[in-house]
């Protein structure tokens, strides 16, 4: 089948998933479009027959981040568009992320034809997987792009290149979020509203951006990376310091990036 465009749809808090998606589309050596669907207001692009769809998300608690799952589940139906599943993870595990992502996009008519789990710097437990993805991780992304493009060129339809096994369990692992959320120092916050505009869940009131609605916040930390003043931070005090230290110890051994 002829593929004319690699179209990546990305959910990202700290930016590593966006970088991995860009790397994949570059390695495809096709015209590409990369869309960041993270902000609540951002829409998902439409897909057509000669597109290669790329769904790139981080694993949160071994699951698809809830705001991404909700948005992708509302995509218009397509008919057999090939899809690549890219999952970043912070050197712990992806658990059921691929199964959930495959179920969501397959229900909209996409056909998963390849995928990879790519280790990236843990955005919350920041002492884990520093400097990743590195060259070894990115080589997995490049090899996946080359393989998917070569296989699709040889088959009449995506169904002929479909993945036969997708890792993960059903029902998916339960994940209720984490206890830590972002906040801003009200003394130094300039109330510019950038954080509110990029939040995927509307957890930040543009009129009072120094506070966060913790029931809505999914701790993606997009607000922290987007804050032009650098005054947003993960509010966790000693409990966060202890959680990071324990996690760093538990997840110290290097985990691989791998194709599925």
Ligand X SMILES: Cc1cc2nc3c(=O)[nH]c(=O)nc-3n(C[C@H](O)[C@H](O)[C@H](O)COP(=O)(O)O)c2cc1C
Residues in touch with ligand X (CB under 6 A): 12-17, 58-62, 88-93, 120-124, 178, 219-221
Nearer to ligand X, 126 or 210 (CB): 126
Residue placing its CB nearer to ligand X in the complex, 63 or 108: 63
Contact in structure between 154 and 160 (CB atoms under 8 Å): no
Query: Exposure string (b/e) for 61-88, b if CB count within 10 Å is 16 or more?
Result: bbbbbbbbbebbeebeebeebbbbbbbb
Report the residue number, 111 or 195, with the smaller CB distance to ligand X: 195
Q: Residue 175 Cβ, how far from ligand X at the closest point, in Å?
A: 8
Name the residue nearer to ligand X (CB basis): 83 or 182: 182
> Nearer to ligand X by C-beta: 6 or 91?
91
Minimum CB separation of residue 41 from ligand X in Å reads 18
Rounded to the nearest whole angstrom, what is the least distance from the CB of residue 198 to ligand X in the complex?
A: 12
Which residue of the chain is nearest ligand X when measured via CB? 90
- Phi, psi angles (nearest 5°) of residue 84: -105, 135
Residue 51: partners with Cβ closer than 8 Å, 6 or more residues away: 3, 4, 5, 6, 7, 81
Q: Which is nearer to ligand X, 106 or 225 (CB)?
A: 225
In whole angstroms, the minimum distance from the beta carbon of 232 to ligand X comes to 14
169 neighbors 161 (Cβ within 8 angstroms) = no
C-alpha to C-alpha distance for 222 and 220, rounded to whole angstroms:
6
The number of angstroms, rounded, from the C-alpha of 193 to the middle of its chain's C-alpha atoms is 24
Identity of the residue, 161 or 223, whose beta carbon is nearer to ligand X in the bound complex: 223
Give the helix/strand (H/E) hosting 145: helix 135-153
Q: Is the dihedral of CA 218, 219, 225, 227 positive or negative?
A: positive
Q: How far apart are CA 258 and CA 99, in angstroms?
A: 15
Q: Smallest distance, Å, CB 249 to ligand X?
A: 15
- Max distance between CA atoms of the chain, in angstroms, equals 61
């Amino acid at each position: 089948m002829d593929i004319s465009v690699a179209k990546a749809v990305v959910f990202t808090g700290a930016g590593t998933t966006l970088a991995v998606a860009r790397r994949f589309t570059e390695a495809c050596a096709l015209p590409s479009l990369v869309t960041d669907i993270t902000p609540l207001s951002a829409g998902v692009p439409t897909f057509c027959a000669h597109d290669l769809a790329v769904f790139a998300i981080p694993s949160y608690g071994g699951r698809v981040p809830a705001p991404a799952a909700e948005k992708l589940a509302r995509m218009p139906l397509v008919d057999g568009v090939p899809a690549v599943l890219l999952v970043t993870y912070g050197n712990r595990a992806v658990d059921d992320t691929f199964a959930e992502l495959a179920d969501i996009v397959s229900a909209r008519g996409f056909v998963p034809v390849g995928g990879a789990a790519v280790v990236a710097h843990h955005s919350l437990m920041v002492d884990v997987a520093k400097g990743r993805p590195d060259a070894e991780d990115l080589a997995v992304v490049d090899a996946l792009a080359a393989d998917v493009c070569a296989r699709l060129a040889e088959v009449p339809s995506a169904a002929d290149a479909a993945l036969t096994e997708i890792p993960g369990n059903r029902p998916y692992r339960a994940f209720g979020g984490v206890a830590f959320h972002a906040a801003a120092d009200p003394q130094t916050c300039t109330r510019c509203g950038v954080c509110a505009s990029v939040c995927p869940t509307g957890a930040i009131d543009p009129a009072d951006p120094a506070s966060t609605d913790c029931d809505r916040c999914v701790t993606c930390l997009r607000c922290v990376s987007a804050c032009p003043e650098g005054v947003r931070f993960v509010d966790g005090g000693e409990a966060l310091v202890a959680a990071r230290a324990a996690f760093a110890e538990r997840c110290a051994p290097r985990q691989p990036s791998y194709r599925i």
